[in-house]
Amino acid sequence: MNLRPKRLADVWEDVRHVGRSLGRNERSEKLAADLEHRTRHIAERAAKLQERPSVLSIEWLDPAMIGGMWMPELVTLAGGTSLVTEPGQHAPTLTRDQLAELDPDVVLIKPCGFDLGRTCEDLALLRVNLPWDHWKAVRAERVYVADGNAYFNRPGPRLVESLEILAACVHPDAFPEFRRTHAASVRRVTPGLTLEPLFPD
C-alpha cells in the first residue's frame, strides 16, 4: 500500500486503510473517528473566536521553507489564517526578500526531522534567513519553536496533538489546557533569541 497523504482527511483514511490491511477494521475505524472528533471539537471552539491571526509555518530554516500539505488546514482549524500555502500544496522555498513582504501575527518553526533541542541549536539562523527585525510577530514575542519530529511533520495520529499545540500558540487564552499539556514540546522565542516557556503562568 502506497500512503502519500496530502490533507488531514487523507491521513485519517490511511488509518482506516492500514487497519483493514491488518484485519483490525473496528479498531482502526474507532481510532480514525476519535481523531476526527477531536479535530472537529477544537475547530468548533476556534470558530467562535473573533480574531483570526495570520500564521506563518516554517518547516525548514536554511533555506526557509513554508509548511504545506496539511499545515494550512491545521492553521485554519486552530483559528488562524494561513500565509503563503494552501491545503495539499507542497512546501515552497522563499527568499529573505519574499519573507520580508509578509508580516505574520504568529510564526511557528518546526523543522522536519528535528526535535525541540536540535531546532534550538539553529536559533542564530532566525536573524540570518528571516526578516527578524521587521516582523510584528517577533516584536510581540509570538514566535514559537516546536518539536517537528514528534509533531506536525509526520502524517499520523499525532497531528491532532499538533493541532492542540498550534491552537495554544494562535489563541493562548482560549486553549489554556493545551498550553499546560504541551509545555515541554514548544518554546517561545524572544526578539533577542532567548527561549521562554510557551506562555508565562
Domain locations in the chain? 53-196
The pTM of this model reads 0.94
Instruction: Using DSSP, state whether 64 is helix, strand or coil.
Output: strand
For the ranges 16-30, 47-61, 89-103, 179-193, the lowest mean pLDDT is seen at 16-30
Q: How confident is the model at residue 4 (pLDDT cuts 50, 70, 90)?
A: confident
Q: Is the peptide bond before 176 cis (omega within 30 degrees of 0)?
A: no
pLDDT at 75 over 70: yes
Q: Give the fold, CATH level 3, of 53-196.
A: Rossmann fold (3.40.50)
CB atoms within 10 A of CB 145: 25
Locus of grid cell 510581540: 140
Contact 198, 186 (CB under 8 A): yes
